[in-house]
Amino acid sequence: MHEKLIFEHSRTGRTATAQFPAAEPADIPAGLRRTKRPLLPEVSELQAVRHFTRLSQLNFSIDTHFYPLGSCTMKYNPRACNTLAMLPEFLSRHPYSPDATGQGFLGCLYELQEMLREVTGMQGVSLTPMAGAQGEFAGVAMMRAYHQARGDLARVEIIVPDAAHGTNPATATMCGCKVVEIPSLPNGDIDIDALKRVVGPATAGIMLTNPSTLGVFERRIAEVAGIVHDAGGLLYYDGANLNAILGKVRPGDMGFDVIHMNLHKTFSTPHGGGGPGSGAVGVGKRLLPFMPIPVVGKEGNQYRWLTEKDLPQSIGRLSGFMGNAGVLLRAYIYMRMLGRAGMQRVSEYATLNANYLLARLKAAGFDAAYSDRRASHEFIITLKRQSRDLGVSAMDFAKRLLDHGFHAPTTYFPLLVPECLLIEPTETEAKEELDAFVDAMAAILAEAGTDPDKLHSAPHTLPVRRLDDVRAAKQLDLTWKAAQA
Amino acid sequence: MPFIPHTDTDVRDMLATIGVPSIDALFDEIPASLRGAALAGVPEALTEMDIARLMQERATQDGKPLNFIGAGAYEHHIPAAVWSIVTRGEFYSAYTPYQAEASQGTLQLLYEYQTMIASLTGMQVSNASLYDGASAVAEAALMAVRAHRRSTSARILLPATLNPIYRQVTRAIAGNQSLNFEMLPYVPGSGTTDATALDKWKGQDVTALVIQQPNFFGQLEDVDALTDWAHANGALVIAVVNPTSLALLKPPGEWGQKGVDIVVGEGQPLGVPLAGGGPYFGFMTARMEHVRQMPGRIVGRTLDLDGKPGFTLTLQAREQHIRRTKATSNICTNQGLLVTAATIYLSIVGPEGLERVAAASQVRTRELVEALTKIRGVRAVFSGPRFHEAVLTLDRPVGPVLEALAAQGIVGGYSLAEHYPELGNALLVCATETRNSNDIARYAAALASLLA
């Protein structure tokens, strides 16, 4: 299946929807006017609708395929969340409309702050960060602001385990901090001795994901918290894996001082082909004054946005208005539909699905990276043995899975596990789907022994075959030019 | 159970396969002392019917006031086809196209978007989006510091006519990396950047000059002169633009003798609803020579094993998941679904439709200013050309007037008291193509009776 570029459907003078009447702009000096029209398509409405509908059909998505992308929590996005967040009154609200005209909207956000505070065990929540990485930025910036407010200016080092998401070290750099990496032990836990060696008067804090990106729970977290706090540092919780522990253990109770939550993961807002996300942050008492603004406050029965006047020590604003408001409404609706008991079920069934899938894949001949550990909501299969014996890589497996109708797991992350697949089924997948995935993996493994070239050249049934990434980077073709038609 | 498909038989079989007696046993690696989150503050579950009623009540409570605010987010008509396609599950529930072969729809759409936005801004390359217009300015400042190898000052000149929130966000995000921001004043009569003030930096190391067009007051800057001054003084130029206005206004790629170096802006006007402040998207385009310094995802066209064209994420060595501490930004998830909306919007309105939207918005704003300034005590502050916003002053404090208007279902403008106290009782008003003559007359009548 192939769909032409929208520009190739274009013909000069063709128009789509019934449009506004032409108007003559006034008062624009000739020197400031545009003289040549931009390259925008001229197509009929049907051509546009058909083109983009066809493009959509070239995608894998949760609604069409099992999508076990580790660390991304690709669970079902309930339709009610979208429909109700798109009520016309919510969509038409200008962000600078007076608070008095938005009490319904602000009430939802205030209640969302309160629920997130409760499920994380923190003291305050700000909803403004627009994705996980911006939540991380807010968290590290708050840690820095805290130390600076105390005159503790030497604390510029952020400790990050080697298994961390790339956003962790990149965020620390953006905050002007220096990154100190510590190794993981062969069992997946943090190397406590290494941690003890690196903490000190320069430690601003540590960034941790728990369960870690290795798919296991950091059992000595209380000890880690003690070591970092005793050294004068703070603990940052990367909430990428919050789905694993929702309603079971709270980051605040583990000793964390600040957390970001990926609402597009744990609270099921749509991933949108790469966003929008939402990286709400929760903080303990010490960081309350530094939260990014605006935050929703409640006085009597009235809600209002709190600004720098209310939080003069805030790290400031991270978005033009108030973060990804529509995403926040979707998360709010989802949480209200789950309720207290439903939230606990999320982690229970996500963990059940992950451990079941792991057990079945082990029985089918695959190697777990941490075979003596309990899986959290996700786990790692390493294909090191198959790579050595059969000459097939994790990438080959991933591409061949696409032919079987499954989106591939996360590949080659975490970087420290060779030939790895990070697999996260989520709680919304039925047992039959997991069984079918195991069957596909087993079939591919058998094929790797008999016809490995079939894997090397996969996929075979998708709109395109394996793409040349090297060519893409060397012979840059980033925009269409009419001459290419 | 809502959204969980397991039957009792499933659970029993699955536990047996794992070899544990209960689901609870799967959490046995979490120390018992840490467990027991009660979640007392989370209410009991609502049915879909009950949450629908609750949300409808809250929406009704807020209503749909008649809006005359812009200030960075603009109410435009969105053709019905746009969001009916955007919310197709294949776009809505997919993720970042890591597996290119299974994501050709999203990737081709992004390539088409990059083409459209690069052409609209007159630049050579585009990324696949940033979070919003404000954070895009911060990313552009950081990019300019990386791209301008001869400049060591990390000095960025920000005009006072740049959206004041964008200034705040830029300081909050980029300020931790030792950038120096210095302010450029505006000329009181025209509300545009004071070019003579630039002489203060003549011969000094300036990394980049930021220019917003139209500026926060809605006034049109002399972009050619500002761009040429910056280039003559060895500085890069970062343009901050409204994408709708570019249907009428000279694109930044043509400003001055050479065109600007980096363009950013808020993409919301292109098919994204106001929605209380987000999600929107930031766009960024640049000269080809700076492409390796860009933050965020970039899509490229390449060939597959059979020599057939296809699309993939490219230049990933810039990004956090590869480069970690040396990445151009920490951004990972961006605003893909909003870019989907913008691409479909631009395809449906086309070049002529976008011109009509821009022209109608400019005409409506002129009508609005004429109607309101006929009221005693109301006057326009700045002279000179403007796009679709204007600064007005009242003869009394703005806050109570806006509150009284809101009580009548009119959102009358954005108060400038906090960010521009020197302008007195000033407010920023906007009318796009969505405001008709009756709307404008209704606002004028309400304001006249309040000020009488």
Give domain status of residue B229, yes or no.
yes
Task: Please report the ipTM that was assigned to this predicted complex.
Answer: 0.97
pLDDT at B296 over 80: yes
Looking at the complex, report in whole angstroms how far the Cα of residue A181 sits from the nearest Cα belonging to chain B: 11
Grade residue A485 by pLDDT with cuts at 50, 70 and 90. very low
Give domain status of residue B439, yes or no.
yes
Examine the domain organization and report whether B115 and B180 are in the same domain: yes
pLDDT of residue A483: 59
pLDDT at B400 over 50: yes
Examine the domain organization and report whether B177 and B116 are in the same domain: yes
Mean pLDDT over B391-414 rounds to 98
Residues forming beta bridges with residue B212, ordered by sequence position = B240
How large a percentage of chain B has pLDDT more than 70? Answer: 100
Domains A80-338 and A345-471 agree in fold? no
pLDDT tens-digit readout, B214-233: 999 999 999 999 999 999 99
Examine the domain organization and report whether B365 and B306 are in the same domain: no
Examine the domain organization and report whether B339 and B244 are in the same domain: yes
Residue to mutate among A37, A96, A216, with most B CBs inside 10 A, is A96
pLDDT at A16 over 90: no
Examine the domain organization and report whether B331 and B363 are in the same domain: no
Q: What is the pTM of this model?
A: 0.98
Mean pLDDT over B337-349 rounds to 98
pLDDT tens-digit readout, A388-436: 999 999 999 999 999 999 999 999 999 899 999 999 999 999 999 999 9
Examine the domain organization and report whether B153 and B280 are in the same domain: yes
Least confident of B28-37, B120-129, B372-381, B386-395: B28-37
Q: Of B291, B317, B343, which marks where a domain is finished?
A: B343
Mean pLDDT over B408-415 rounds to 98
Examine the domain organization and report whether B280 and B327 are in the same domain: yes
Grade residue A282 by pLDDT with cuts at 50, 70 and 90. very high
CATH code (residue B418): 3.90.1150.10
Residue B68 backbone zone (phi > 0: left; psi -120 to 50: alpha; other: beta): alpha
Least confident of A16-20, A157-161, B104-108, B427-431: A16-20
How large a percentage of chain A has pLDDT more than 90? Answer: 95
Examine the domain organization and report whether B173 and B303 are in the same domain: yes
CATH code (residue B148): 3.40.640.10
Contact B169 A316 (CB under 8 A): yes
Task: Inform me whether the C-beta atom of residue A452 falls under 8 Å from chain B C-beta atoms.
Answer: no
Residues of B in Cβ contact (< 8 Å) with A325: 275-279
Examine the domain organization and report whether B334 and B382 are in the same domain: no
Examine the domain organization and report whether B420 and B357 are in the same domain: yes
pLDDT of residue A420: 97
Q: How many domains does chain B have?
A: 2
pLDDT tens-digit readout, A227-266: 999 999 999 999 999 999 999 999 999 999 999 999 999 9
Task: Inform me whether the C-beta atom of residue B215 falls under 8 Å from chain A C-beta atoms.
Answer: no
Give domain status of residue B398, yes or no.
yes
Give domain status of residue B9, yes or no.
no
Supply the mean pLDDT for chain B: 96
What is the residue range of B299's domain?
Answer: 80-343
pLDDT tens-digit readout, B306-316: 999 999 999 99
Supply the mean pLDDT for chain A: 96
| Nearest-by-CA chain B residue for A467 | B304
pLDDT tens-digit readout, A342-376: 999 999 999 999 999 999 999 999 999 999 999 99
pLDDT tens-digit readout, B74-98: 999 999 999 999 999 999 999 999 9
pLDDT at A17 over 80: no
Examine the domain organization and report whether B376 and B323 are in the same domain: no
Q: What CATH number should be reported for the domain whose range is A80-338?
A: 3.40.640.10
Mean pLDDT over A319-344 rounds to 97
Residues 255-274 of A with CB under 8 A from B: 264, 268, 270-274
Q: What CATH number should be reported for the domain whose range is A345-471?
A: 3.90.1150.10
